């Protein structure tokens, strides 16, 4: 390979600076959204006692806080990107966000089924199928996190030996 031109270096340098600026803007947006969702979660917690069906109020609280957790995991991912060695670590927070989203969906499905009253068999079958798929996905994603952590631990052990 030949030498890189000054123009290539110039564009790459400014591209990386623009990329960093965009990550900072995304991080600020996620922080503001997280604060808003947490605030909304506390309001929902206060209003939970006003609902005729208390479990509906609590479900709204859990929903808000699970969304806040998703935002925090995405923010953690942005933080990792600013780190030097993020090639393998960057994947895990996205997987954790997916797990939280799937657990949130399972909770909502369980609530819908338990409070729907008379549910046609076809619709109940679809609920059960969606819950089974979400459960399988959760197990697969948890297994992926376990594998990533084992790989990371092996890499650290190799570095200690060297």
Contacts of 53 (CB under 8 A, 6+ apart): 115
C-beta neighbour count of 105 within 10 angstroms: 17
3-state secondary structure of 71: helix
pTM of the model as a whole: 0.61
Contacts of 47 (CB under 8 A, 6+ apart): 57
More confident residue, 12 or 43: 43
Domain ranges of the chain: 1-81, 84-162
Q: How far apart are CA 48 and CA 62, in angstroms?
A: 11
Give pLDDT tens digits for 60-109.
888 888 888 888 888 887 777 766 555 555 677 778 888 888 888 888 88
Instruction: Output the six-digit token pair for 83.
Output: 């780190």
Q: What's the confidence (pLDDT) of residue 1?
A: 47
């Amino acid at each position: 390979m030949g030498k890189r031109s000054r123009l290539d270096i110039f564009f790459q340098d400014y591209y990386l600076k623009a990329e960093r600026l965009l990550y900072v803007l995304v991080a600020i947006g996620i922080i503001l959204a997280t604060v808003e969702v947490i605030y909304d979660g506390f309001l929902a917690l206060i209003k939970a006692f006003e609902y005729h069906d208390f479990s509906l109020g609590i479900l709204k609280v859990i929903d808000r806080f699970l969304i806040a957790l998703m935002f925090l995991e995405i923010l953690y991912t942005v933080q990792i990107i600013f780190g030097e060695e993020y090639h393998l670590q960057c994947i895990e927070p996205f997987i954790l966000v997916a797990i939280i989203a799937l657990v949130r969906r399972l909770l909502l499905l369980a609530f819908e089924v338990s409070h729907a009253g008379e549910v046609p068999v076809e619709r109940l079958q679809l609920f059960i199928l969606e819950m089974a798929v979400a459960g399988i996905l959760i197990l697969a994603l948890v297994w992926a996190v376990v594998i990533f952590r084992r790989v990371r631990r092996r890499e650290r052990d190799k570095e200690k030996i060297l």
